[in-house]
Amino acid sequence: MNVCCRKKAGVRMVTWHTPYNRLLHLSLFFAVLPWLYSYFNERHRIQSYSVEQALILSWDKVITQPTILFRRAVVGINCNVDLVVSATSLLERMNSTSNKRDDHQVLNNVDDLYEAFAYFFSRGAAAERSDLCAYRWERKIAIILRHTSDEKTFELMVHTAGESRQRPHYYIGGNAALMAEKIATAFPRTTVYLVGPIGPRSQALLHPSIVRTNSTRIVKDEVHVIMEYKQGEILGEYVAPASSRFITSHDQYSGSSVVIEMFFKAIAQFNPDLIILSGVHLLQNQNKEMRMEKLRLIKRNLMQVNPNIPIHLELGSIGDADHVAQVLSRIVPNVDSLGLNEQELAFFSHIAGGPYTDLYPIAPGAVHVVEMLYWLLTTYGHDKSDPESKNFKYKLSRIHFHSLTFHLMVISVVLTLHKPYAVKIYYITNPSNFLVIHLENYDIYRAFISCLERFQVYRGTDWSNLAAGLAAGAKVAGRQACQMTGGDTNTDNLELRSSMSFLLDKEVGKSYNFEPQKPIASWMRKDVVFIFTPVLVCKFPTRTVGVDDAISATGLIYSQFYRFEKAW
């Protein structure tokens, strides 16, 4: 008989070579075995994934629901119907007498339409970008927007495009309507209130859960004619070198004072916890005096909104330099969040004297984009660290940038001052509780902040859950362009068009090395935090209109906002 234990010098000794302990060893082994099998099987399964599948799986692990969800959102101010037709077929029916090419900024008649279209048709996705709204050249889908000043010419175009022989397709359009549509379909727990010119057809096309106001109903829809063509199509003596589209419109209501006033009235009535403003770019088609009056109206109302309600501005393509300058100085500093693409960012930098103005109109690379975003946020963004700064009362603290191959989320860190030199430190678990540290003078304040930086203490921001918002927006980009449904997991039509390694921020020496299992990179530059991810591109996009709006809307709903500082 084995002895399981014995006493030696007053100490109880345990003998491990007993049947009981061997049984314990076996039980431990069989308990660990399933875990080991699961672990190594999971690693083998991940290694068998394609780059695209591994990237999506990594995003899914990052995408988490916010603790505080936006329950009510007011969205405005542009809404229209997109009428999509074959460009060459439509122009053949329009009976233009011209055979020239010319870049008309405004279309006054059918000949102007033909000449402006032929100008871009013959160039396709050319490198020249001096047009009004050359958008997404790198996508090989150049979208050119022109305003038709003559109402009769535009009505003729809409009538001809709507003929059954043209095989027209109707979709909801306008940044505000598209963002409202995305929120309503993908986030049913958020109620959307849309303010914009809604006609009979747009009323039928909108998601039934979207709340609308009767005060902005119109008898006749605002229509944007989208003239699409494929690579190799022929128009007279011209051959299209790449697929593209040409958009023309004659908007009358989206930028009207009535719609703007109804938008801010809806904010007071609906009591939202998120406000989305878009359509400001449409004001560029109005004369300067009227445009300035509308911008003053928007700014005045923005400044009266409850500061605890975040305001997001979604930009559209702006080609008027004076309008860009006014939007930058009057509107951008008075919103909390901004959504834009590479063309809009590059034009902002070019007009306002930002970095790399000499590169415009060439599409900026990642290292250029980072520099421009840092300039934009520090120049027009929120800064509570210096009461004497002009940025002290600015609100902008979040930028969601999206291009074809990569997305960036940029936020400013809040350093809240109480009186001249004090810092509020918030508890992460309960932001309503905080500690105020009073400092003797500004030098001691800066020394204190330097200590926080040295020990990498997180200093707080109004926005959180941003990596989840960035990943969710990146995931939806390629899927929407390919029109993939929710349950479709096939990645054959998606591809990564990003280098495996490149420089992101030369100021801090931040480089990016792609790993499918860890695609998201983040870093801090002074008081600005950057979050970066590559994006999967749709190889054969079937519908690109509204992709940017879907990205921004998704990123917003996954983000979380809590205003740390109060009005002192």
Q: For the chain, what percent of residues have pLDDT higher than 70?
A: 79
Please determine, for residue 142, whether its predicted confidence score (pLDDT) is greater than 60. Answer: no
Q: Nearest to residue 60, comparing CAs of 553, 520, 557, 548?
A: 520
Residue 430 burial by Cβ neighbours in a 10 Å radius (0-12, 13-18, 19+): exposed
Least confident residue range of 84-93, 124-133, 495-504: 124-133
Tell me, what's the pLDDT at 452? 53
What number is the average pLDDT over the span 453-472? 74
Task: Give how far Cα 86 sits from Cα of 115, 236, 347, 470, Å.
Answer: 17, 15, 30, 35
* Better-predicted residue by pLDDT, 34 or 374: 374
pLDDT computed for residue 373 by the predictor:
97
pLDDT level of residue 140 (50, 70, 90 thresholds): very low
Q: Which residues are catalytic?
A: 549
Tell me the average pLDDT of the chain.
82
What is the per-residue pLDDT across 58-115, written as a single tens digit (0 to 9) for each? 999 999 999 889 999 999 999 999 999 998 899 888 887 788 888 777 778 888 888 8
Mean pLDDT over 329-351 rounds to: 94
Higher pLDDT pick, 449 / 67: 67
Q: What's the mean pLDDT in 262-286?
A: 94
Q: Is the pLDDT of residue 379 over 70?
A: yes
Angle at 269 (CA atoms; ends 267, 273), nearest 5 degrees? 50
Query: 263: Cβ–Cβ under 8 A, 6 or more apart, which residues?
Result: 74, 76, 77, 195, 277
- So what's the pLDDT on residue 39? 67
pLDDT-based confidence at residue 343 (cuts at 50, 70, 90): confident
Across 275-279, 452-456, 495-499, the highest mean pLDDT is recorded for 275-279
Q: Which residue would you say has higher pLDDT here, 28 or 380?
A: 380
Tell me if 144 sits within 8 A of 131, measured CB to CB.
yes
- Residue 17 — pLDDT band, cuts 50, 70, 90? low
Can you give the residue ranges of every domain in the chain? 60-64+412-561, 72-335
CATH number of 72-335: 3.30.1110.20
Rounded mean pLDDT, 164-173:
91
Band (238; pLDDT cuts 50, 70, 90): confident
- Backbone φ and ψ of 100, nearest 5°: -95, 175
Three-state DSSP class for 198?
A: strand
Q: How far is CA 219 from the centre of its chain?
A: 32
- pLDDT value at residue 371: 96
Confidence of residue 137 (pLDDT cuts 50, 70, 90): very low
